[in-house]
């Protein structure tokens, strides 16, 4: 792995929640062991009139909450953290440029810079222009700009933002974040597929009946009602996180593990997926009041900052067809929602059954298409969170015989647990921040990739499709049965 070089890591939105919860702990943990830790400097920037001291204090709190020692934290904060106020308008980029120059001179930094935009999406464009206008898009070393999701809110706005970014930065300087790509188990999808010929040889329409991707959350929208109500679940989760999982499951083997070779294959998948028909391939839902984990919870419309008559979807289930030689005719079902019974990210691959089932309770062979045929198919469950691992389900003979004197089959599974094998998995942000600093764009979304995924969901973004109510703590509205009656991961009402 390339070494971390001395650099300045500038965080826009340094007084915000993401900085405190994710960025500061990840940077601290990364830098703790770097040989050049002294010369890896973080410069927070935001509108608030904070001092270096105030920023350090906020970081110190976050790090102590994460269990780091008082001494190590105090040293790092004093030596490595600085803050620059961007003025009331949040646009004093000249002041920022002067501070960057001054810190680099003073701390003997080589001019390597990352600018992380942890900002509300409407401010991405102005911040990019601001950096370009004062010349912060160039430096004596490397310069990288990191843009959080959502990148645009439809195809046109994503294209416009890409154009704006490219006015000031080359594509290889741009790191579009989707934190799902930093999850160890998501990256492992590639290792699993392309490191094991066993599965790859049956990973196609000849052997797979369907693929289900479930990303369920037990949480509601919490304090983010204002943002979420404008966005909805397709924009918040489907266009990015679920689509990334889909591309990793469906892509062809890349020519190499080079970033562009991989991203090329992902774009190819996205452009093969047919746009879903809002009426037949999609079910939207919105949670009402209910019970999650034994606690009563309010309905979506009663959450702070959500209008009483909102028809924003908090749940989406989709059927997608990947129209290429590998997948044509294999349905990909995507299901995701807030306030479902449990937090679970899982990919279920159902293989085709035996052509003739010999093990029926009445002793008569049947074919799986027959209504009363009891044949069961093999399934592979890839769990990305929590309890990361795999389960491969297969049929075994249960001991003894049934009352008709025939053999009875029972489903059992072979299981692999990530935690048992390797201990706790690293945090996604730490992986991604390291990649930004060492200049590896593999786990970031390329310009054409983000546009292809907005294009794919265009018919769903402003549809007036019905949004079906569901009770919090269930697996979504009953209308989901229209797409798929029995999901492998969890039941509709029964986790």
Known catalytic residues are 241
Chain residue whose CB lies nearest ligand BG6: 236
Q: How many CB atoms lie within 10 A of CB 200?
A: 13
Tell which positions 341-400 bind ligand BG6, by CB under 6 A.
none
**Closest CB to ligand BG6 among 104 and 148?**
148
Report how far apart, in Å, the C-alpha atoms of 189 and of each of 55, 75, 269, 416 are.
Answer: 38, 39, 15, 14
How far apart CA 80 and CA 30 sit, in angstroms, is 13
CB of 65 to ligand BG6, least distance (A): 18
**Closest CB to ligand BG6 among 218 and 311?**
218
CB of 82 to ligand BG6, least distance (A): 28
For 339-486, strand residue ranges (E) read 344-351, 379-385, 389-397, 409-417, 467-471
CB of 461 to ligand BG6, least distance (A): 16
Under DSSP, the state recorded for 445 is B
How far apart CA 328 and CA 323 sit, in angstroms, is 5
Task: Kindly give, in sequence order, each residue whose CB lies less than 8 Å from that of residue 428, ignoring residues fewer than 6 positions away.
Answer: 179, 180, 181, 182, 183, 184
- In the list 184, 212, 236, 303, the residue contacting ligand BG6 (rule: CB under 6 A) is 236
**Closest CB to ligand BG6 among 73 and 237?**
237
CB of 91 to ligand BG6, least distance (A): 26
How far apart CA 418 and CA 427 sit, in angstroms, is 14
Is-contact 483 283, C-beta < 8 A?
yes
Contact flags string 166-205 toward ligand BG6, x per CB under 6 A:
----------------------------------------
**Closest CB to ligand BG6 among 31 and 221?**
221
333 HSE (CA, 13 A, CB side)? 23
**Closest CB to ligand BG6 among 137 and 185?**
185
By CB under 6 A, tell whether 148 contacts ligand BG6: no
**Closest CB to ligand BG6 among 236 and 391?**
236
Q: How many amino acids of this chain bind ligand BG6 (CB under 6 A)?
A: 2
CB of 222 to ligand BG6, least distance (A): 9
- In the list 92, 104, 184, 217, the residue contacting ligand BG6 (rule: CB under 6 A) is 217
Burial pattern 313-352, b for ≥16 Cβ within 10 A else e, equals bbbbbbbbbbeeebbeebbbbbbbbbbbbeebbbbbbbbb
CB of 147 to ligand BG6, least distance (A): 14
CA dihedral 219, 223, 226, 231 (to 10 degrees): -30
Binding site for ligand BG6 (CB under 6 A): 217, 236
């Amino acid at each position: 792995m390339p070494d971390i070089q001395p650099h300045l890591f500038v965080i826009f939105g340094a007084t915000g929640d993401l900085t405190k919860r994710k960025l500061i702990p990840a940077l601290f943990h990364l830098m703790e062991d770097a040989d050049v830790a002294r010369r890896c400097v973080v410069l927070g920037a935001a509108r608030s009139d904070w001092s270096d001291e105030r920023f350090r204090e906020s970081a110190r709190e976050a790090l102590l909450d994460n269990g780091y020692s008082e001494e190590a934290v105090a040293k790092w904060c004093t030596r490595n953290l600085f803050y620059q106020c961007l003025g009331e308008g949040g646009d004093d980029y000249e002041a920022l440029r002067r501070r960057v120059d001054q810190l680099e001179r003073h701390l003997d930094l080589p001019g390597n810079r990352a600018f992380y935009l942890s900002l509300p999406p409407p401010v991405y464009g102005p911040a990019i222009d601001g950096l370009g206008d004062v010349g912060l898009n160039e430096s004596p070393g490397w310069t990288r700009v990191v843009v959080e999701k959502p990148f645009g809110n439809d195809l046109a706005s994503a294209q416009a933002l890409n154009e704006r970014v490219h006015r000031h930065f080359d594509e290889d300087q741009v790191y579009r974040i989707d934190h799902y790509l930093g999850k160890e188990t998501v990256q492992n999808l590639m290792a699993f597929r392309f490191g094991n010929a066993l599965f790859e040889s049956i990973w196609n329409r000849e052997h797979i009946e369907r693929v289900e991707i479930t990303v369920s959350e037990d949480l509601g929208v919490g304090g983010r009602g204002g943002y979420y109500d404008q966005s909805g679940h397709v924009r918040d989760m489907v266009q990015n996180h679920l689509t990334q999982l889909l591309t990793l499951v469906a892509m062809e083997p890349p020519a190499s593990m080079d970033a562009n070779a991989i991203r090329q294959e992902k774009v190819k998948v996205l452009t093969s997926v047919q746009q879903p028909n809002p009426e037949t391939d999609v079910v939207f839902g919105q949670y009402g009041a209910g019970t999650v984990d034994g606690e009563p919870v309010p309905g979506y419309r009663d959450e702070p900052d959500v209008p009483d008559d909102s028809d924003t979807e908090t749940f989406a289930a989709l059927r997608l067809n990947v129209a290429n030689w590998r997948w044509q005719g294999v349905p990909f079902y995507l299901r995701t929602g807030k306030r479902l019974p449990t937090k679970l990210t899982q990919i279920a691959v159902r293989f085709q059954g035996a052509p003739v089932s010999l093990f029926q309770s009445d002793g008569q062979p049947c074919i799986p298409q027959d209504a009363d045929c009891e044949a069961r198919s093999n399934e592979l469950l890839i769990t990305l969170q929590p309890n990361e691992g795999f389960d491969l389900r297969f049929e075994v003979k249960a001991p003894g015989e049934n009352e008709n004197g025939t053999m009875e089959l029972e489903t059992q599974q072979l299981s692999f647990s990530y935690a048992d094998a390797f201990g706790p998995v690293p945090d996604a942000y730490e992986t991604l921040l390291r990649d930004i600093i060492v200049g590896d764009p593999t786990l970031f979304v390329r310009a054409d990739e983000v546009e292809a995924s907005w294009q794919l969901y265009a018919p769903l973004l402003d549809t007036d499709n019905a949004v079906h109510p569901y009770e919090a703590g269930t697996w979504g509205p009953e209308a989901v049965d229209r797409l798929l009656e029995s999901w492998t991961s969890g039941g509709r009402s029964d986790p």
